[in-house]
A and B are shown apart, each in its own frame.
Chain A
Amino acid sequence: MDLPTVWFVLIAVLWTGYFVLEGFDFGVGTLMGVIGRDNPTRATMMGTIGPVWDGNEVWLIVAGGATFAAFPAWYATLFSGFYLPLLVILIALIVRAVGIEYRHKRDDIAWQRRWDACIIAGSILPSFLWGVAFANLTAGVPINADGNYAGTVFDLLGGYALLGGLTTLALFTTHGAVFLALKTTDPLRTTARRTAVRLGVVTIVAAAAFLTWTAFKHANPASIALSITAAVALVAAVALVAAGREGWSFSATTVTITAVVAALFTALFPDVMPSTIDSAYSLTVAGTASSPYTLKIMTIVAAIFTPVVLLYQGWTYWVFRKRLTAPRQADAHT
Chain B
Amino acid sequence: MDVLDASRWQFAITTVYHFLFVPLTIGLSFLVAGMQSAWVRTNDERWLKLTKLFGKLFLINFAMGVVTGIVQEFQFGMNWSAYSTYVGDVFGAPLAIEGLAAFFLESTFLGLWIFGWDKLPRRVHLACIWIAAFGTALSAYFILVANSFMQWPTGHTLNNDRVELVDFAALLGNKVALITLPHTLAAVFLTSGAFMLAVAMWHLMRHHRGDDTQSPTDTDPTAEKAWRSAAKIGAVTVLVASVAVVVTGDIQGKIMTETQPMKMAAAEALYETEQPAAFSILTIGSLDGTEEVWSITVPGLLSFLGTGSFDGEVLGINDVNASYQDKYGPGDYRPNIPLTYWSFRAMIGLGIAATGVALLALWTLRRGRTPSNRWLRRLMVVSPLLPLAATAFGWIFTETGRQPWIVFTLLKTEDGVSPSVSFAEIMTSLIGFTTLYAVLAVVEIGLLLRYAKAGLPTEPATY
Docked-complex contact B100 and A305, CB < 8 angstroms: yes
Given contacts A73-B85, A301-B100, A316-B112, contact A97 B67 (CB under 8 A): yes
CB pair B100–A91 under 8 Å, yes or no, is no
Q: A61-B99, A91-B436, A149-B420 are in contact. Are A316 and B63 (CB under 8 A)?
A: no
B residues less than 8 Å from A93 (CB atoms): 67, 70
CB distance from A54 to the nearest CB of B (A): 4
In the complex the two chains form, is B74's CB within 8 Å of A64's CB? Answer: yes
Q: Is there an interface contact between A54 and B110, defined as CB atoms closer than 8 Å?
A: yes
- Are B92's CB and A101's CB within 8 A? no
* Cβ-based interface call for A60 (8 A): yes
Known: A83-B425, A301-B101. A72 touches B162 (CB 8 A): yes
For A69, the closest partner residue in chain B by CB is B92
Say yes or no for A219: interface residue by CB 8 A criterion.
Answer: no
Flag whether B272 is at the interface (Cβ < 8 A).
Answer: no
Q: Is the interface of A mostly helix, strand, loop or mixed?
A: helix
Residue in B60, B74, B107, B115 whose CB lies within 8 Å of A86: B74
Residue B284, interface by CB 8 Å: no
Assess the B78–A83 pair: CB atoms within 8 A.
Answer: yes
Q: Which of B63, B418, B428 contacts A98 (CB 8 A)?
A: B63
* Residue B240 interfacial (CB < 8 Å): no
Q: How far is the CB of B25 from chain A (nearest CB, A)?
A: 13
B111 and A294 form a contact (CB under 8 A): no
* Among A58, A301, A320, contact of B97 (Cβ-Cβ < 8 Å): A301
Smallest CB–CB gap between B450 and chain A, Å?
A: 7
Residues A75 and B111 in contact, CB atoms below 8 Å apart: no
- Where chain B touches its partner, the secondary structure class is helix
Interface pick from B164-172, B242-250, B309-317, B389-397 = B164-172
A241 and B162 CA atoms in complex are apart in Å by 52
Asked if residues A146 and B419 are in contact (CB atoms below 8 Å), the reply is yes
Kindly provide the distance from the CB of B100 to the nearest chain A CB, expressed in whole angstroms: 5
Q: Per-residue CB proximity of A88-99 to B under 8 Å, as 1/0?
A: 001101110110
8 Å CB contacts to A: which residues of B97-116? 97-101, 103-105, 107-112, 114-116
For the complex formed, measure the closest distance between the CB of B407 and the CB atoms of chain A, giving whole angstroms: 13
How far, in whole Å, are A106 and B454 apart by their CA atoms in the complex?
Answer: 12
Enumerate chain A residues within 8 angstroms of B109, measured Cβ to Cβ: 312
Knowing A54-B111, A93-B67, A290-B89 are in contact, say whether A313-B84 is a contact too (CB < 8 A): no
Q: How far is the CB of B12 from chain A (nearest CB, A)?
A: 17
Interface residues of B in 61-92 (CB under 8 A from A): 63-64, 66-71, 73-74, 76-79, 81-82, 84-92
Q: Is the CB of A57 within 8 A of B107?
A: yes
8 Å CB contact of A72 from B92, B99, B100, B425: B92
B90→A50 contact, CB < 8 A: no
| Chain A 38-67 interface mask (CB, 8 Å, partner B; 1/0) | 000000000000111111011011101111
Closest to B73 in A: A64
Determine the residue in chain A with the shortest Cβ distance to B88: A72
Question: Would you list which residues of chain A between 64 and 89 have a CB under 8 Å from chain B?
Answer: 64-73, 75-81, 83-84, 86-87
Verify B81–A69 contact, CB threshold 8 A.
no
A-B contact pairs, 19 of them (CB 8 A): A50-B115, A53-B111, A57-B70, A60-B70, A64-B77, A65-B92, A72-B86, A72-B92, A77-B81, A84-B428, A90-B70, A94-B440, A97-B63, A105-B447, A148-B419, A294-B90, A305-B101, A312-B104, A316-B111
List the interface of chain B (C-beta within 8 A of A). Answer: 59-60, 63-64, 66-71, 73-74, 76-79, 81-82, 84-93, 95-101, 103-105, 107-112, 114-116, 119-120, 159, 162, 164-166, 168, 418-421, 425, 428-429, 432-433, 436, 440, 443, 447, 450-451
In the A-B complex, the 6 residue pairs with the closest CB atoms: A72-B88, A79-B77, A69-B92, A65-B96, A68-B92, A101-B63
